[in-house]
Amino acid sequence: MVDQVTATLLRAAELTAAGQPGQAVALLRPVLLSHPEHADAWCHLAAAHLDAGEPDPALTAAKRAIVLGGDPAWAQRLAALALAELDRPAEAVVAARESVRCKPLDWRCHVVLAEALASHPTLAGDALGAARRAVELAGDQARPYQVLGDAAMRARDWATAQWAYRAALDIDPHDPEVRANLDAVHRNRARAAGAGGLTGADLPQALAGAERALRALVRRLVGLVAVGTLLLLLAGLPAPSTALTAPALLLVGLAVAVAALPLARMPAVGRRLVARVARERRLVGAAAALLALAVLLTAGWALALASGTRGLSTLAVAFGCALAAGVLCRPGARPRHPR
């Protein structure tokens, strides 16, 4: 039976590597039902969930593997990746550092630590050192060089970024993301970005910050609008009364205030960067558009209700738009990491 379990784990790893993590999860569940104390199986399950863009169950599986005492470096590394995708950077750094402590010569642990540090609001400057250590340990792998290039770009160390991306392409010349980043490095000092005086050298970091700000704003609004429209729907059953007009307009006003106040506090260049992110990052831009539509539909429903029109269909569509925005802006799939 042990051999059968090992074969199943190998097959699950192959499916995950082949871009079929859902099938890997389905294959692993029966194994864990019959062998719930198998720590490696929980690690394989966590890796499959991560590649499927499901950080919550990935974190649960990684924690289970940690408790069972399997490979602690692997389990902590998986937990760090899941925590990073859940926007919990401080915990991600703790888990990544623990993975490095368990296996200080495993380059994958240093790669995950570099990525966790890069997403931390105050520790991003340490990512460069972690990435350099990964390169020292695995100079024949492309991924450490890519992570070093990413960390150098954030630090605006263009010479290191150019060297690292070129080294990554020497090993894997077919990686389009690395090639695109190398092209960006080449353009940085050659042109202005046209974003309120920002030069190309400053643009990647500024855009990354604007995207984080927009995602955080969208997530706050999703909670407010989705919960508010759901409560209005429940209160309006089976037929809404005009008494719901005031709460609906209050919800619209709160949503506008939550959206407008952070933007009003930004400098003009920050607002332009947020607008650029909304145009160029399709998922977060679509989520913002759906939220705006949900607020407009709620306002229209409230005004129609005040004029005597009855019905909940418009409000139901607004609720659906808010839910769809939450799905689009959830923490999810990112470039594949080493497992």
pLDDT tens-place string over residues 313-331: 999 999 999 999 988 887 6
Angle in degrees, CA 188, 145, 330, rounded to 5: 75
Residues in the chain: 339
pTM (two decimals)? 0.56
**In-domain check, residue 146:** no
**In-domain check, residue 59:** no
Give the pLDDT band of residue 245 (cuts 50, 70, 90).
Answer: very high
Residue type, 58: A
What's the confidence (pLDDT) of residue 89? 93
Instruction: Say how far residue 114 (Cα) sits from the centre of its chain.
Output: 16
**In-domain check, residue 91:** no
As for how many domains the chain has, the answer is 1
CB of 310 within 8 A of CB of 224?
A: no
**In-domain check, residue 113:** no
The mean per-residue pLDDT over the stretch 151-165 comes to 87
Q: Which two tokens stand for residue 194?
A: 């046209």
- How far is 131 from 78, CA to CA, in rounded Å? 18
Q: What are phi and psi of 121, to 5 degrees?
A: -65, -25
**In-domain check, residue 266:** yes
Domain of residue 231 covers 203-328
**In-domain check, residue 155:** no
- How far is 148 from 283, CA to CA, in rounded Å? 27
DSSP symbol at 312: S
**In-domain check, residue 14:** no
What's the confidence (pLDDT) of residue 193? 40
**In-domain check, residue 292:** yes
